[in-house]
A and B are shown apart, each in its own frame.
Chain A
């Protein structure tokens, strides 16, 4: 019991220290930085989508054009996961509810 708890505490502490040090290396919230900064980011793909989504897909909502057009395969996999989960729930509860 105590062995297991000690192992849990050590694992928890390692993960906590890892997270706290890793957030310090991220860019500050909402600030993508200037050129030359350590955390400088240039989201070229997102800027392309924001600029061209209206011409290419005709949708005013860029998020919808990403979900169903640029990244349709993600949505296909998500639909498969939802279908599988519903099938699993029905499979489990059908025998219980008889």
Chain B
């Protein structure tokens, strides 16, 4: 079971983020939840690419030995930058929504139930 600890961390991160997205009404908290899901996905990609007792795939002053997989690391690198860009765009939209509706409650914004 100890081998599955990183996967459990991934599932915990994604479920915490999903909880915030599904049950919270504050838009800022929903944005935080989306960021949590993104962190979970990045951790999942990195976890899949790790081989036991492997070193980083860089040859400069490398101690030798087997190397971990480079492609998931490259995809995670791309994913992190896209995450920052999307986070900035989401927060700007939240600021715009707050100035227009004077509230951050998602259900009041879409005109749903008020109880």
Which residues of chain A have a CB within 8 Å of any CB of chain B? 1, 4-5, 8, 11-12, 15-16, 19-20, 23-24, 26, 28-32, 43, 45-46, 49-50, 53-54, 60-63, 65-67, 71, 74-75, 78, 81-82, 84-86, 88-89, 92-93, 96
B26 at the interface (CB under 8 A from A): no
B4–A23 CB distance below 8 A = yes
Per DSSP, are chain B's interface residues mostly helix, strand or loop, or mixed?
helix
Please, which residues of chain B bring their CB within 8 A of the CB of A71? 71, 74-75
Cα–Cα distance between A97 and B64 once the two chains are bound (Å): 54
Chain A interface helix/strand/loop/mixed: helix
Q: Which residue of A lies closest to B47 (CB)?
A: A29
Given A23-B8, A29-B5, A62 and B67 touching (CB < 8 A)? yes
Asked whether, in the complex, the Cβ of B82 is within 8 Å of the Cβ of A81, the reply is yes
Report B's interface with A, CB cutoff 8 A. Answer: 3-8, 10-11, 14-15, 18-19, 22-23, 47-54, 56-60, 67, 69-71, 73-75, 77-78, 81-82, 85-86, 88-89, 92-93, 95-96, 99, 113, 115
Q: For the complex, give the distance between the alpha carbons of A91 and B11 in Å.
A: 36
Distance in angstroms from A7 CB to nearest chain B CB is 9
